[in-house]
Chains A and B, each alone.
Chain A
Amino acid sequence: MVEQSVPTLAGPQQHIRDFVAYLREHGFVIGLAELRALTEVTAWASIDRPEQVQAYWRGIACSNQKQWRQFPDLFEAFWFAHRARGKVKSSQRKRQGKNLHELVQEIQGQGQSAPTDGQAGTLGLSSQGAGDQGTETEQGQGGASATDPLVDKPLGEWLPHDSEQLDRYIEPLQARLRRRLIQHYRRVPQARRVDLRQSIRKAMGTGGELMRLQFRDRQTVMPNVYILVDVSQSMETHAQFFLRMARSFCQIMQARGFVFHTGLIEVTDLLRRNSGRVQEKINAVTFGFGGGTRIATSLKAFVEQARRGRHGQRIRGLGRRDLVLVLSDGFDTDSSEKLPEAVRAIRRTGAQLYWLHPTVDRPQSRAIEACGNSISGFLAISHLSSLDKLVDLITGKQSYDKEVMTEPN
């Protein structure tokens, strides 16, 4: 094991601090301990091998796969700007002063000769460092607007790459849903509430002596979320956006995703992967479906399929406070009596059913009208901002719910 004291170096550390600030601007979370570790490992890097410095720093600075992939470009852009020009989108921060080679050399030179009181080493650009710190932290916002123009962009005008923004709106939904969801007791070793029943049961193993107490605590558990997307002909223009929305739900909220028109099929596995060919694959799996939209039949099939896990195993199925989101325009070729029956079958399980429609007005079909109050709520999804209202709708802000339910025809 190498034992070496790390000197506090105002000069070289300033350059590393600049680099850290640059990384932070790109979303890296780097604290003082990491900053210290960056300096520490630099002392052991080979001066002539910047890739070694990069490898050492990468392990310390990165904390997820995205950053891991991004780091080499940022490293190049900061330390070798002349080589990386045009390869990476970077903030306006610019490296000042020394290059990497000089920095490593300086740290290693200082490490060998630094006094142990930690006050040494103001070589190079130390006088410049403190002054620059203030100005650099103030720059680099890049003129970004606080308002996202996509929020009010109608769905019809959305491009595939715009859909990436969806995740940003689904994540808060998950956080807000967590607050209202099922609360029940669960065994937790760290809890302070004694679970007497379990404790007595455990005492059986020690001849009835109550030697090991069991504890339990309240746990908040997310409900199961099911998202059903209508991919029939009438939904053609909206299906792509709705599938992307379903994908965000599946990836972020671990929802189960289904598509339907005359039949229903689960596509959770397809939606949970970051595949650029989801639409193509869904077209393939729904190829055998006939014309029209049989919503009632599909919902009945859904209740059955929900009792089967993703791999066919028997599971609990729909339950209390589970959420079923149907993304459809409501045009149904089944007879109008069937839909209320299918909706009631879902509601009888205790699940909530919300109908999200691409039209401005609530669907006008006889089948939907016949459902009455069985449907927990309707919501027009016409813009990205509509998703905020979805949170309100699901989390039970009644004012909005009523507004939506009584929307003028």
Chain B
Amino acid sequence: MNAKEIAQRLQQTGYVADESLADMVWMGLTIDRPILLEGEAGVGKTAIAQASATALNRPLFRLQCHESLDLNQSVYEWNYSRQLLEIRLREAEGAGQSELRDDLFTEAFLLQRPLMQAITSVEPAVLLIDEIDRADESFEAYLLEVLGEYQISIPELGTIRASSRPLVVLTSNGTRDLSDALRRRCLYHYVDYPTVARELNIVQTLLPDANTDLVQQAVLFIHQLRKEDLDKTPGIAETLDWIRVLCARELQALPDDPAELAGSLSALLKTRSDQWQVSDGVVAKLMGSGQRVGVDPGVVASRA
């Protein structure tokens, strides 16, 4: 499978990947390296893992990182309650102690968490380690072994090696700087805000019923809005939400009156200061600048 084919399959699942991102997925599959995706929130980092799993027909295992994440939540945990119950049952049956000792730490009492599930999966999987920057540094250090060797050591059982190598996708929002060691083990891709043409493509793929003129005007408006100095620049998810709102209002084009538009902007502006900053005057300016840009099929013409 080549990168072009991957891009086509992703498109079929509703994810419009640019060429470089499809190349990256192809490289991840080809040279068995994890992919580290960085970028602003809402640009489609998590979605690429989900889309890859669907496109490649692989199971997806997702590990959502947070500050107190530990091995019990991410790799494996012994099922203590079941072990305890087993002990009581065996005691009642009068079973031998040595037999019990041998049976108690077997895979039957092991609760597999996402990392181990991905490693032990018979068919190749997609492992999404989401927001790795939120996890502790110690967990990141542990991850190096898993990602480097694709194996997990359990003291009671021994080392479990991957039966198939998963496609590993790590995402980071940059809230903490990741270690060089982790970065070096990964392929790196910075997921930027999409170009106008790509964003139009995304919206038309995911919202095929939306009016074309409305979509073009809305996407151009958002691109102008992203140039403003905002606390939280709207991502693709916000674009889709906003256009859904506009469609629900049964609009065929953006209204001329900025005040009318302002009511729907809460789908795009997520902080108080951003809402304060984007006044009616700013909206009018953005709408004006958006209208000066012509749109050809999928291509933005030069400014007049």
Which residues in A have some Cβ–Cβ distance to B below 8 Å?
1-2, 29, 31, 33-34, 37, 40-41, 44, 52, 55-56, 58-60, 62-65, 67-69, 187-190, 205-207, 209, 211-212, 269, 273, 275-277, 281
Chain A: minimal CB distance from B160 (Å)? 19
Of residues 1 through 53 on chain B, the ones whose CB sits less than 8 Å from some CB of chain A are: 19-20, 23-24, 27, 29-31, 33, 35-36, 38
Q: List 18 A-B contacts (CB under 8 A).
A: A2-B30, A40-B31, A41-B30, A44-B30, A55-B24, A58-B20, A59-B23, A63-B183, A65-B174, A68-B189, A68-B190, A187-B68, A189-B71, A205-B80, A206-B80, A212-B78, A269-B231, A277-B229
User: Across the interface, which residues of B come within 8 angstroms of A68, CB to CB?
Assistant: 188-190
Q: Given the complex, which residues of A lie within 8 Å of B187, measured CB to CB?
A: 59-60
Please determine whether A64 and B183 come into contact, CB atoms closer than 8 angstroms.
yes
- Are B27 and A65 in contact (CB-based, < 8 A)? no
Whole-angstrom distance between the alpha carbons of A196 and B80 in the complex? 18
Pairwise interchain contact A41-B31, C-beta atoms closer than 8 A: yes
> Which has the most chain A C-beta neighbours within 10 Å: B27, B30, B31, B231?
B31
Query: Shortest distance in angstroms between A194's beta carbon and chain B's nearest beta carbon?
Result: 16
**Which of A33, A67, A189, A207 lies in contact with B72, CB distance below 8 A?**
A189
**With contact pairs A189-B72, A211-B80 given, residues A1 and B30 touching in the complex (Cβ less than 8 Å):** yes
Q: A63-B184, A65-B190, A211-B80 are in contact. Are A52 and B229 (CB under 8 A)?
A: no
- In the complex, how many angstroms separate the beta carbon of B199 from the nearest chain A beta carbon? 20
* A65 neighbours in B (Cβ, 8 Å): 38, 174, 190
Give the residue of B20, B30, B138, B271 whose beta carbon is less than 8 angstroms from that of A188: B138
Evaluate contact between B229 and A207: CB separation under 8 angstroms: no
Interface centre among A31, A41, A55, A69, by most chain B C-beta atoms within 10 angstroms, is A55
B81 interface contact, C-beta 8 A = yes
- What is the bound-complex CA distance between A378 and B19, given in angstroms? 56
Cα A64 to Cα B180 in complex, Å, equals: 10
A56 near B27 with CB under 8 A, answer: yes
| Assembly CA distance A189 to B273 (angstroms) | 40
Q: How would residues 183 to 215 of chain B score, 1 for a CB under 8 Å from any chain A CB and 0 otherwise? A: 110111110000000000000000000000000
CB of B184 within 8 A of CB of A59, answer no
Question: Which residues of chain B are within 8 angstroms of A209 by Cβ–Cβ distance?
Answer: 84
CB distance from B207 to the nearest CB of A (A): 29
Known contacts A31-B184, A56-B27, A59-B187; 4 additional CB pairs below 8 A are A41-B30, A55-B19, A59-B20, A62-B190
Q: Which residues of B contact A (CB under 8 A)?
A: 19-20, 23-24, 27, 29-31, 33, 35-36, 38, 68, 70-72, 78, 80-81, 83-84, 138, 142, 174, 180, 183-184, 186-190, 229, 231, 271, 273
Assembly CA distance A37 to B33 (angstroms): 10
Q: Is the CB of A189 within 8 A of B27?
A: no
Query: How many angstroms from the CA of A55 to the CA of B22 in the assembled complex?
Result: 10
- How far apart sit A275 and B273, CA to CA, in the bound complex (Å)? 14
CB distance from A59 to the nearest CB of B (A): 4
Q: Which residue of B lies closest to A207 (CB)?
A: B84
**With a CB–CB cut-off of 8 A, which chain A residues contact B33?**
37
Q: Which residues of A contact B31 (CB under 8 A)?
A: 37, 40-41
Contacting residues, chain B, for A34 (C-beta < 8 A):
184
Q: Looking at the complex, which one of A69, A211, A281 makes contact with B84 (CB distance below 8 Å)? A: A211
Please give, as numbers and ranges, the residues of chain B lying within 8 Å of A63 by CB-CB distance.
Answer: 36, 180, 183-184, 186, 188
Give complex CA distance A60, B184 in Å. Answer: 8
A44 to B19 Cα, complex, angstroms: 16
Q: How far, in Å, is B3 (CB) from chain A's closest CB?
A: 8
Q: Does B189 lie within 8 Å of A59, measured CB to CB?
A: yes
CA of A34 to CA of B142, assembled, Å: 21
Q: A59-B188, A68-B190, A188-B138 are in contact. Are A29 and B84 (CB under 8 A)?
A: no
- Say yes or no: B84 contacts A206, CB within 8 Å: yes
A87–B84 Cα distance when bound, in Å, is 69
Report Cα–Cα, A55/B23, bound state, in Å. Answer: 7
Q: Give the residue name and chain of the B residue nearest to A45 (CB).
A: B23
Closest to B29 in A: A1
| A207 neighbours in B (Cβ, 8 Å) | 84
In the bound assembly, the distance between CA atoms of A277 and B68 in angstroms comes to 37
- Nearest Cβ on chain A to B35's Cβ, whole angstroms: 8
- Distance of B58 from chain A, by nearest CB (Å): 12
Q: Is there an interface contact between B183 and A275, defined as CB atoms closer than 8 Å?
A: no
Min Cβ gap A223→B in Å is 18
Residues of A within 8 A of B19 (CB): 55
In the bound complex, do residue A59 and residue B70 qualify as a contact, i.e. CB atoms below 8 Å apart? no
In whole angstroms, what is the CA distance A60 to B183 when docked?
A: 10
User: Which of A58, A269, A277 is the one whose CB lies under 8 Å from B273?
Assistant: A269
CA distance A277 to B33 in the complex (A): 40
Q: Which residue of B lies closest to A62 (CB)?
A: B188
- Inter-chain contacts of B174 with A (CB < 8 A): 65
Pick the 10 closest A-B CB pairs, nearest first. A63-B183, A189-B70, A68-B190, A59-B187, A55-B23, A62-B188, A55-B20, A211-B80, A275-B229, A65-B190
Which residue of chain A is the closest to B39 with respect to CB atoms?
A: A65
